[in-house]
Amino acid sequence: EHLGALSKNKVHLPSIGMTEQLQADVVVVGAGPVGVFAANLLARDGLNVIVFEKGHGTYWAPRAVSIAEDSIRMTRSFSTPEMYKWILNNIILTSATLLTKMALHPDRKLLLHVRSAAMDLASKIKLLCLSGNHCMFYQPDFEQKQREVLLKQDTAQLMEGCTVTDIRQGSDGTCVVQIDRTQANGTVQKVVCTSKYVLGADGGNSTTRKLIGAAFEGETHYNQPWIVVDTKVADREWFEQNRYDEKTSKGLVTGFVCDSTRPAVVVELPGEHWRFEMLLNPGEDRDEMLKEDTIQKLLSDYCLVKKGAVTVERAVVYNFHSRVASHWAQGNVFILGDAAHCQPPFSGQGMNSGLRDAANLSWKISFVHR
């Protein structure tokens, strides 16, 4: 039966002509950072896992920009030596070189400075590895490395172009997941997969959440739209000349522009990437604010970045959400990450809280499975 009304009988695979029939211990819906993270943990413990993803490849732009110490530690538990070396070089060591944070007055004078720039590299690395601290990272690269590990797992599969259309569950806990898989030629193949567990890591618009009948309670902050701009350094000479100088307290660095008329966030990321976030004011037209000329002027006026010093890779307007699903499980079907809870990004806990969900749930499933 449909999840909303569990059957008293076992659920059997439907008999459909050319339907591909699969079987797994765990089905994961969604191959974002949370879904692949959970799949890696489960496959590490020897469970047969199939991840169904609607899209193809990793998402090309960063959404999260910081990864917590405990997320790195949990990632190490399934990492290959190659991935751990990559984490060390591209997240921990790189973040240590970026480790200076500050907040600014509206007139751009120093208000607060976290004085870590004067620390030696070993001390910075030690600081980053303390509980509660965060590293800056470039999410597309991290997701790609996670996928590479997953594809090397003997008991894991990743199937792309797959849209989950229904999940049914029997009284014995067996789940039947129905999927439409779009082929390269545009034809749609029906796929049916039986599993003991289903993990819905399919984001804020989660199909899994809807199928278990969970309401997404809370609010969307429509009155506080923010423009998020992801950029790549175009003028290296300008950035080197205008990098933050601790002696003069001037220059560009990760921090917060505390301007009541337009607060802004500036984040330096590995690989010459920079993230800028600015509040849109009432009456400002979103389409107009997303134009290249407008963005370059905003960066110049509020973030002190010379026009043309960066190339805009992505610019979007977000309405942030504060929402929690009314329930996170029904039978052996679970939701995690943004499917279960969404929050504004300023504490840097969106992706990280999803990774904690995955770690918390995966070890319990592995324990029960054994």
Q: What is the pLDDT of residue 16?
A: 46
Q: What is the pLDDT of residues 286-327, one digit of tens each?
A: 999 999 999 999 999 888 899 999 999 999 998 888 899 999
pLDDT for 190 beyond 80: yes
Cα–Cα dist 214/357, whole Å:
17
Q: Give me the long-range contacts of 112-118 (CB less than 8 A, separation at least 24).
A: 113/246, 113/249, 115/246, 117/244, 117/246, 118/246
Q: Is 115 helix (H, G, I), strand (E, B) or coil?
A: coil
Cα–Cα dist 277/63, whole Å:
12
Q: What is the pLDDT of residue 6?
A: 34
List the one residue out of 67, 203, 50 whose CA is nearest residue 140: 67
Choose from 106-120, 122-136, 170-184, 191-205 the range with maximum mean pLDDT. Answer: 191-205
pTM, two decimals, is 0.86
Residues 6+ apart with CB under 8 A from 46: 155, 366
Q: Tell me the mean pLDDT in the region 123-150.
A: 80
Q: What is the pLDDT of residue 108?
A: 64
Q: How confident is the model at residue 109 (pLDDT cuts 50, 70, 90)?
A: low
Q: What is the pLDDT of residue 274?
A: 93
Q: What is the DSSP string of 141-155?
A: HHHHHHHHHHHH-TT
